Structure 1
Amino acid sequence: MVSCELIARHCICCGGNQLQRSPAVLMPFVAHRVFGHEPVEITEEWGLRDLRPGMAYTLCNSLQCQHCGVLFLDYRFTDEQMAALYHGYRDEAYTRQRDHYEPGYAVIASHYHQREAYIGDVESWLAPHLPERPVVLDWGGGSGSNTPFLQQSNALYVHDISSVELMPGVERISASQLAAGCYDLVVCSQVLEHVPFPLALIKQILPALDEQTLVYLEVPYEALVRGHPGSLGLAALKRHWHEHINFFTPQALHCLLESAELVLVDSHLLTVELGWRQSQVIGVLARRA
C-alpha cells in the first residue's frame, strides 16, 4: 500500500520502507513558489554562535527506494503548493521569475512552445497496438500540442488543470466526464515526474479505462539514473531538486503499474531530441488487470 505522506517515509511506487537518504537542497525558484523561502546570507552581524556565516537555502532529503530504485524528493507537496508552483506555468510572469533565479531560462523556455519531433516515434511504437484512427485522451496534455495522433485520431480529448488554449480539433474534458467516454488510448506523458503522489494520479485515470483501453505512461529517463544503471546508491549523488521531484527507473514504473493493478503490455526506452538537448524517455503501455 502506497501512502500519501507529506514528508515521505515510504516508497512512492512500491510502498517499501527501505529508503537510502542523503541531504540536498531545494532549488530557490521552487522553494520560493512552494514555501515562500528565499536564499539568505548568514553574516557575522546575525550574532549566531553556532551557525557558520554563508548562504542558507531550503534543505530537503534525497530518497532512493532500495527495492525498485525510484529516486525522489522527501517533500510531497500539497494541492495548494502544487497550484502555487505551477501557476501561470511558462507564461511571461513565470518565465521572468524563474529567469531571475536561473539566468538564461527564458531562452531555454522558448523551445517548449512547439511540438516535439520525437512524438512521431512514439506514434510509430504505439500504432500496432491501436485502431487506425484511435480515440485518445491525454491526461495532463496542456494544449494537446504533444499528444500522440494529434492529426490521426478519430477524436482527441485533453484533461488538464491549466486553461491554455487548445490545439484545433482537441476538446477539453472534465474529471466528471472521464468515465462517460470510450477511449482506445489514454496518455499520461511527462507528468508523473512532477506530481507528489504518482499512484494517486494513476488511480484518478482508472475510471477512464475499460477492458480494451490502453494507457501509455511516459517519464524522463533522467541522466543521473541512466548513467548509473541498477545503482541503489543514487541518493548521495542527487544534491538538488527542482520541478522534477521523481526520478524513475524502468523497474519503478513496473512497480507503479502493479500497485495500480495494471498489466504491462509493452515498454521502450527512446532517445529523443528535446529542443536544445538530447535525452531519453521511458514509456510503458498497460491495461487493466
Structure 2
Amino acid sequence: MTNDRIAQRCICCASIELDRSPAVLMPFVAKRVFGHEPVEITEEWGLRDLQQGMAYTLCASLQCQQCGVLFLDYRFSDQEMTQLYHGYRDERYNRERQYYEPNYGKASPHYEGRAEYVGDVENWLASRVPNNPSVLDWGGGSGLNTLFLGRSKLTHIYDISSVATVEGVEAVSLETIEQHQYDLVICSQVLEHVPYPHELLKQIAGALDEHTLLYLEVPNEVLIRENPGNKKLAGLKRHWHEHVNFFTEQSLRELVQYAGLQVHEIMNLDVNLGWRTGNLVGLIAKRIK
C-alpha cells in the first residue's frame, strides 16, 4: 500500500473505489499542520473571478465503496503530525485551540481524570491476560488511561506528543521496545488520528510475539453509527478535525488482516465521557502463527 500525500486508495483495504465530496479542514488543524489561517476575501483584493467571503483550507471527504471507511484526503507527514500533537492538551495546546474553538475548554476538565469506561475494557480483557501483565501503550500520551495502570508489572508508553507521563509509567523509544516482550500491547483512540494506519499496525506487529495480545480501540463515530452500511457518507462529512479516519467494523477488520494480524474478538461499548456520551469499537488481535 503506497503512502500517498493525497489519498488515491482506501487506507484500510487499498481499494481504488472511492466516493469523494468537498470539505474544509478546521482552522486549528490547518494552522498547526500547514500554517494556514482563515482569511476574508474582500473587494480590496481585486480578484475579478473569485467571490468575496471567508476562505478556509479546502480538502475532500473520501469513502471506500468496498469496506466503508470514511476519511480525509490529506495524509499528514511525520513532521506535520508532530506539529499537530506536540504538547497535546497542555497549556499552550489548549490556549491555541481555544483561540479557534472557544468552547473547547469546557471539555478540558474531563481530560484531566481517568476515563470511567477504562474499567469496563479492563474487565473484558482481564481473563485474557496475566494478572500482572507487562503492557505497552502505543500512542498512550501520559498513560492516564492506559489499561491495568497500577496493576501491571511493567507499563511502557510510546508517543509522539512528548507530554509528561503519570506515576508508574515509563516513556520509551522504539529501540527499548525491541528489547522487551509484552503480554498486552494497546493502541487505543489512536488509529483515527494517523495518516497511514496500515503502516502503524505493521510497525506495532513488530512488538508482538506469538503470545502477545493486541487491543485496538477506535470511536464508533456518530455519522457511521447512525448510518450503518451507508456508502454515501462523503457528502455528509463537510469538515475534518483531528479524527481523520472514521472506521466501520468491516474496515477495521480488513485493516487488521491487511497488516498480517488475525482478529480474535470484537466488541461495542457505550461510554460516558463526561461532557457527552459515545460508543467505541474494541478489537483483540494477535500475530498469525
Q: Which band: TM-score by shorter chain?
A: over 0.9
116-125 or 104-113, which deviates more = 104-113
Q: How does 1:82-97 map to 2 (within 5 A)?
A: 82-97=81-96
Q: Which amino acid aligns with 1:174?
A: S
SS in 2 for 1:251: helix
The question of 1:131 aligning with 2:130 is answered: yes
Residue 104 of structure 1 corresponds to which residue in structure 2? 103
Q: How does 1:51-130 map to 2 (within 5 A)?
A: 51-130=50-129
Deviation at residue 181 of structure 1 after TM alignment = 1.0
184-193 or 106-115, which deviates more = 106-115
Partner Cα separation in structure 1 for residue 25 and residue 69 of structure 2? 18
Deviation at residue 54 of structure 1 after TM alignment = 1.0
Residue 141 of structure 1 corresponds to which residue in structure 2? 140
Deviation at residue 92 of structure 1 after TM alignment = 1.4
- Listed one character per residue, the Cα deviations across residues 38-74 of structure 1 (whole Å, up to 9, x for unaligned) are 1111112222111111111110000000111110000
Q: How does 1:1-289 map to 2 (within 5 A)?
A: 2-289=1-288
Partner Cα separation in structure 2 for residue 120 and residue 139 of structure 1? 19
SS in 1 for 2:115: coil
- 1:24, 1:59 within 8 Å by CA — same for their partners in 2? yes
207-216 or 43-52, which deviates more = 43-52
- 1:3, 1:12 within 8 Å by CA — same for their partners in 2? no
Where does structure 1 lack aligned partners over 5 or more consecutive residues? none
Q: Which amino acid aligns with 1:102?
A: E
Deviation at residue 189 of structure 1 after TM alignment = 0.3
Partner Cα separation in structure 2 for residue 281 and residue 150 of structure 1? 20
Deviation at residue 262 of structure 1 after TM alignment = 0.5
Deviation at residue 128 of structure 1 after TM alignment = 1.8
- 1:158, 1:173 within 8 Å by CA — same for their partners in 2? yes
Partner Cα separation in structure 2 for residue 84 and residue 142 of structure 1? 15
RMSD of aligned alpha carbons: 1.0
Deviation at residue 89 of structure 1 after TM alignment = 1.4
Q: Which amino acid aligns with 2:142?
A: S
Q: Which amino acid aligns with 1:29?
A: F
Where does structure 2 lack aligned partners over 5 or more consecutive residues? none
Partner Cα separation in structure 2 for residue 159 and residue 134 of structure 1? 17
Partner Cα separation in structure 1 for residue 46 and residue 85 of structure 2? 37
Partner Cα separation in structure 2 for residue 169 and residue 104 of structure 1? 33
Identical columns (%): 60
Deviation at residue 155 of structure 1 after TM alignment = 1.8
55-64 or 45-54, which deviates more = 45-54
Partner Cα separation in structure 1 for residue 39 and residue 161 of structure 2? 33
SS in 2 for 1:136: strand
- 1:178, 1:207 within 8 Å by CA — same for their partners in 2? no
TM-score (norm 1): 0.97
Deviation at residue 174 of structure 1 after TM alignment = 1.1
SS in 2 for 1:104: helix
- 2:86, 2:160 within 8 Å by CA — same for their partners in 1? no
Deviation at residue 157 of structure 1 after TM alignment = 1.4
- 2:82, 2:161 within 8 Å by CA — same for their partners in 1? no
